Structure 1
Amino acid sequence: MNRYIALQKIVEIGSFTKAAEALGYTQSAMSQMISSLEDELSIKLLYRSRVGVKLTLEGADLYPFIERTILQYQAMQGKANEIKGLETGVIRIGTISSITCHWMPQLIKEFQALYPNVQFILHQGDYSSIQEWIKVGAVDFGFITPPAVTGLHTITIKEGSMLAVLPTNHKLASHSTVSLHEIVNEPFILLEEGHFSEPMEAFHACNFEPNIKFCIHDDYAIMTMVEAGLGISILAELVLRRTNYHIVMLPVEPPIIRTIAIGFRDKNSLPIASKYFIEYLISNIEKLP
């Protein structure tokens, strides 16, 4: 392949001497490579004149194929470098608790079956902190909701319902659904998600102001407090799966929908391992709860 690249550089520059300098060869080595290539092909590729070096007629006919061969070789090298990059890659992700618990274990397990040496670093936060981590480069990408971010590229992954969470002895616990009007004056435990909250947006859309008694950063701590009768809350249906808390979960009217997306600064600047993981995630969206 070095002989093809040498030929290409000579044709580009029009000089054996300058092409040799550009590629770091001696002029003698450059001449030997071209001579070897011409012997192999049994074709005279170049001729020299007072104005420089040019392709012969036969060389000009063959040259487009040589150029394509070089491009294919470079593409192969690029792919090989990508694969080698995955051997020691580190994927840094900003995530929220429901995604950490219910998406990441299976995704990581399956991805590491393909690329066993890739490491994962998970930073768990909220919409505001994850957005900031992405912008300053502390994580490669993160799970966010599009209305909560600015200045980032996003790819929507899934939508999911949010449910009212009540103590088992609550007066509304036997209902099939609860309305925001019914719970607006109840002691409310708000999940701290940064500057954006889907339940708060829903309350405000109805011109309601909930009776917030506690603001907590952890979904599971909220479930514990609801179980103890300290208030009610609204949490993502995803995080409410596989829990052992004695609580009641009911649909909300009007429905509250949470949109989960991947956010990143620039896809082209993402590390190779993170690009592969995002592609893997997108191709397996239907498997995600």
Structure 2
Amino acid sequence: MKTFQEKYPSVEFKLLQGGYEVNAAAVRAREADLGFISTDTAEDLEYDILYEDELLAVLPSNHPLAEKDIVSVKDLAKEPFILMDELGYSYPLAAFKDAGVQPRNLKLTVYDDYAVMEMVRQDLGVSMLYERILRGFDDGLIIRPIKERPKRNVAICWKDRKTLSLAARKFLEHVEDSNIFVFN
């Protein structure tokens, strides 16, 4: 956004905060011109994929699963689990379902990634979080890839490109041209 603001200083942004389903609903209702979503919530929206984000196992430093190089969803289902509530569709719960298991002990549900990390650090359970969230915040945690490699695609979406405001079209073009989100 900084480079866009430098190029178009008179454009004002109104940022709405919410989960991907909330963002998609705001775009559908034309309460927002553009939204950041997961492609799983895009049903009737147009979108450009910005990046792919993989779920990783998040373990306390003294946890027995930390001895493994790769952890399976079934391994995680046997442990006290801390769920990140994503205000709608849950990728960790979908990963459990796809593996044919349910978490045996859904210990805590929280609404903040960093709270999940702190609870895992305090040895309250294990979790799954996205690679991008964990970058730079993994001190005191053991991070392992998950055998099944659950992922999400994050995208920028809109209802109808032809009806976007000039500012929204320019921002969308800026995002598409600059690849600012494509840094896997």
- How big is the shift at 1:180? 1.0
Q: Residue 165 of structure 1: which of 58, 69, 80 is its match?
A: 58
> Could you tell me whether the CA contact under 8 Å between 1:189 and 1:213 is conserved in 2?
yes
Residues 97-108 of structure 1 mapped to structure 2, 5 A cutoff: 108=1
1:248 corresponds in structure 2 to 142
1:175 corresponds in structure 2 to 68
- How big is the shift at 1:209? 0.7
Q: Unaligned regions of 5+ residues in structure 2, if any?
A: none
- How big is the shift at 1:186? 0.8
Q: Which has the higher helix share?
A: 1
> Could you tell me whether the CA contact under 8 Å between 1:126 and 1:192 is conserved in 2?
no
Q: Unaligned regions of 5+ residues in structure 1, if any?
A: 1-107
Alignment TM-score, normalising by the size of structure 2: 0.90
Aligned length: 182
> Could you tell me whether the CA contact under 8 Å between 2:19 and 2:88 is conserved in 1?
no
- How big is the shift at 1:259? 0.6
Deviation by residue 1:35-70 (Cα, 9 ceiling, x = unmatched): xxxxxxxxxxxxxxxxxxxxxxxxxxxxxxxxxxxx
2:38 corresponds to 1:142: no
AA of the residue aligned to 1:233: S
Residues 227-242 of structure 1 mapped to structure 2, 5 A cutoff: 227-242=121-136
Larger radius of gyration: 1
Residues 205-244 of structure 1 mapped to structure 2, 5 A cutoff: 205-210=98-103, 211-243=105-137
How many percent identity over aligned positions?
A: 35
2:117 corresponds to 1:117: no
AA of the residue aligned to 1:215: T
2:46 corresponds in structure 1 to 153
Partner Cα separation in structure 2 for residue 126 and residue 147 of structure 1: 12
Q: Residue 155 of structure 2: which of 261, 264, 270 is its match?
A: 261
- How big is the shift at 1:139? 1.9
AA of the residue aligned to 1:157: L
AA of the residue aligned to 1:195: G
1:282 corresponds in structure 2 to 176
1:197 corresponds in structure 2 to 90
AA of the residue aligned to 1:119: E
User: Which one has more relative contact order, counting CA pairs under 8 Å at least 6 apart?
Assistant: 2
AA of the residue aligned to 1:278: L
Partner Cα separation in structure 2 for residue 249 and residue 161 of structure 1: 12
> Could you tell me whether the CA contact under 8 Å between 2:18 and 2:87 is conserved in 1?
no
Moved more, 273-282 or 148-157: 148-157
For the residue of structure 2 that corresponds to 1:204, the secondary structure is: helix
Residues 58-73 of structure 1 mapped to structure 2, 5 A cutoff: none
Alignment TM-score, normalising by the size of structure 1: 0.59
Partner Cα separation in structure 2 for residue 128 and residue 268 of structure 1: 23
AA of the residue aligned to 1:214: L
AA of the residue aligned to 1:145: S
Deviation by residue 1:106-134 (Cα, 9 ceiling, x = unmatched): xx111112112222222221122112222
AA of the residue aligned to 2:74: H
